[in-house]
Structure 1
Amino acid sequence: MADEDERLAAWAVLAGDVDAVWAAARPGPSLDAVAARLASAPRAFLDDRVVLAALAGDVLGGRPLTALAFADDARVRLGASLALWLVASEDLVEPFTPAIRTGTTALAVDALALRVASVADPLDWLADDERRDEAARTFLLWCGFLPAGEDAATARALLVARDSLARHRELAEAYAEHRHRAEIARRLADARAKEAAARYSTE
């Protein structure tokens, strides 16, 4: 949990004003195209032995990547590698329309590696439609794009609905509430038992 907190703290510093990011986002590629490309990541980008610094250097051309500070974490490595695949695929497959390389791709790589991968296993991005949708939407946003055909309000609502971090927090809050209620019930039961015992002993 401490590692996740550290990664999320690093991401929070990078992310800055999220409202401003949404306000500046412009129409981008089709969500389906990005999700399909993500699902087609080649084995080389999924290899546990990938050296993230080298891959990032090849794909991003030396642009700084905060995720490199956490490259010893397997989920960070895989999350970053999958994001780097989306960037590299414009040369290896074909460009998106519009091309994502015109956006803030390093920030988008960090978003997937530090924010999304901290709460949703990147392998799930390949196997689960909703997690892949979340990853694709997050990537587009932090590249500076909205999915094609969506306005900012719609895109934001759809991403919020799929946000693993929000779900994780809600589950934690729900669990805390359940624990609180159980503790109150236990204390009430103890108080009733003591009261009954006191009544019994005086009779």
Structure 2
Amino acid sequence: MSDVTPDEPTGRLPSSAVPGGRTDGPPLAVLLHRLTSCPADLLDPHVHATAAVADLAVALDGTVLDPAWLRHLDERLAAGTPEGRDTAALALLASWLVADPALRGVPGAQDAAARAGGTGGWLLRVVDALPRALAGLRTGPAWLAQDGPREELARAFLAVAGLRPAGEDDDLAADAWAAVSTAHQRVLTAQMAQEQERARELAARLAEQRAKEAAAQYASY
């Protein structure tokens, strides 16, 4: 199972679930195109996410999930609660991306899969890590509804998969992530609101002090 921590600073790229440094993946446009072609029924609440992941692992390289992995996924991807449905949706979207031959054919992706012990192992690491990186931000279908969420999802996927978009170095990928990260933007918005409130309080105190000084000066005449 993944060792990704869910409480990392919001402006930092999600941790890679793959040992070793990040390598060049496909262009970001490849993942965005794949997400726009995602069939709506993939995110149907009745889809059994664990079974779908298990079937894909077998199809990719013959990986058969052991009972521990099956129990782990069943616990995390149970669709009985809104949180479970959203986690299952992210796991299914991660599976949809891994299933893309255009992604798996990239040398960097092949290297990441090898470092994860094979394509099936890579799938499991990504499926486990991506919902942690994006927990609580959107419902499943909302990730596909607009350009911004699709880019956030694609960049988070690449990050946890041990990849970065083709044509970007680590610094550029990190800057681009900070620009699209919903969690980070929410933190920045809250910080700006706090700063504005402190500025209003300071202005009020200064105005009060000036009024007192003016009153004292008037009284001394």
- Provide the TM-score with structure 2 as the length reference: 0.64
Provide the C-alpha distance between the structure 2 equivalents of 1:69 and 1:142, rounded to a whole number of angstroms.
18
Any idea what the Cα deviations from partners look like across 1:20-54, whole Å, max 9, x if unmatched?
A: 97970011122111111122111231112222222
Sequence identity percentage: 32
User: Which residue in the other structure is 1:35 paired with?
Assistant: 32
Residue 51 in structure 1 maps to residue 45 in structure 2 = no
Distance 1:133 1:160 in 2: 12
Give the letter for the 2:131 counterpart: A
More helix by share: 1
Q: CA RMSD in A?
A: 3.9
**Aligned partner letter, 1:171:** T
The CA deviation string for residues 106-155 of structure 1, in whole angstroms up to 9 with x for no partner, is 33333432222422444333122122112111111211112122222222
Q: CA deviation at 1:181?
A: 4.2
Matches within 5 A, 1:72-91: 72=81, 73=83, 74-90=85-101
Equivalent residue runs for 1:133-144 within 5 Å: 133-144=151-162
Gap runs ≥5 in structure 1:
1-8, 197-203
Other-structure match for 1:149: 167
Q: What is the CA-CA distance between 1:186 and the residue it aligns to?
A: 6.4
- Partner residue, 2:134: 116
- For 1:98, the equivalent position in structure 2 comes to 106
Amino acid at match of 1:77: A
Question: Structure 2: how far apart are the matches of 1:179 and 1:120?
Answer: 28
The TM-score with structure 1 as length reference comes to 0.69
2:99 is paired with a residue whose SS is helix
Distance apart, 1:84 and its partner CA: 1.7
User: What secondary structure does 1:81 align onto?
Assistant: helix
How many pairs are equivalent? 190
Structure 2 residue runs of 5 or longer lacking an equivalent are 58-63, 117-121, 215-221
Q: Which digits, 9 at most, give the CA deviation of each residue in 1:78-112, with x for residues without a partner?
A: 2222112112344xxx6543274725333333343
